[in-house]
Structure 1
């Protein structure tokens, strides 16, 4: 049972925190809904004699506080996060749980601004604010995260199956190009028909290609952007992810998970991701004729 839970938490999950326009839109929507719900429905017991502020401003403060805390937390998370491909359901749940605790602490710290009570700084209220915020938030997360995981998994698995069935197989003409690196003496020649994919590796790029039945790789001082620009004349070259550039003609099979697609190449154990924002474009390139 424990192994099944661990396995479930280790399933790939989308990393949302690099798209700030969407994050800000979501946070603003949550704040607005939270304010309207609290102000018009008064879901919690309200003793206005204890209030230092008008109830309108209290509702607004409670709606904006989580947004501010979440914005700072997501900003720090995005700046410190490494490989987002390894983001899982467990990591998502962990960070959102930490965020709920921080929001609970923030709600406790503003009690003295809102309520005229001598025991605002008591341990009882400290525990109460954290417990209430955490329990309500986790109840929602326990429902929404698995539902979103299964929705995306089914969506991309279905799309991957259709691609494998409908793909028009193509033969890539051999064409050798010289790849220019930041160090001229390290320039090298690459046969496009053998090229599989390139992967960002720190300040370098790791290039993978086939030689017979073997997969070769080479680490070069070059950015992925520079490599893409040097191969831009080839319609089968596609940037599937911010860290990967692929040769679509050499993709053997496509599978899917909640993060998007995973691409397999012949004789290669490493699978290459296609990010969700690239799916539609990849579908067109992958199924088109030369």
Structure 2
């Protein structure tokens, strides 16, 4: 029960027509290409009929989201996980009812409660897939928005800040750069490869030190984050993050290298994004 009463972590989507179009298109694809629920037995224009069901799904989703769901989000605060669950069930019911009426009209079936329950069962089966897709879209959209917000805020705060990574060799050269130019550091045997931006280009310099020592020197900067036993990144410059609780893959700035986030560092990464 405590899980259901937690605040729902994602905002209501502002891409109403786009999301509705995606769901409607998926319904058309499922019916036309997979032909479930004995749709394969229909001898008429399957493409047209599948498109009609997709159009009804589009209309029901758009209308529900623009009216009922919008009103609920405005009046219920905070929006909790169980609220989202009930809202999804309501959406499935509306879509099932709309497609049920279309089905009865097209195939001349008598409208009965038992037939509606059968249609509701079909909609729930497809709805599980659509709900999973919806949550995935919301997650990626929210992650991207939080990344952009994090980048704007911390980069501006540190515009004049420089950092120095010391070379432990007696005759080694220390590296001093603006913190906003730092992309990531990678441990390589007895050296640390520091990847940063120089005049807009990605440059890598090897410093004779350890990643632990370098992180100790930079411990006052919260945006320098160790994401793997061999990598540390500047979260200011993360441009994308893909993955799940088992691990992420990061890209930074205009660097083409993919930086791994190992499983034990994922909880810390999420603190930057919430």
TM-score (norm. length: structure 1): 0.44
Higher RCO (CA < 8 A, seq sep 6+): 1
What TM-score, normalized by structure 2, do the two folds share? 0.46
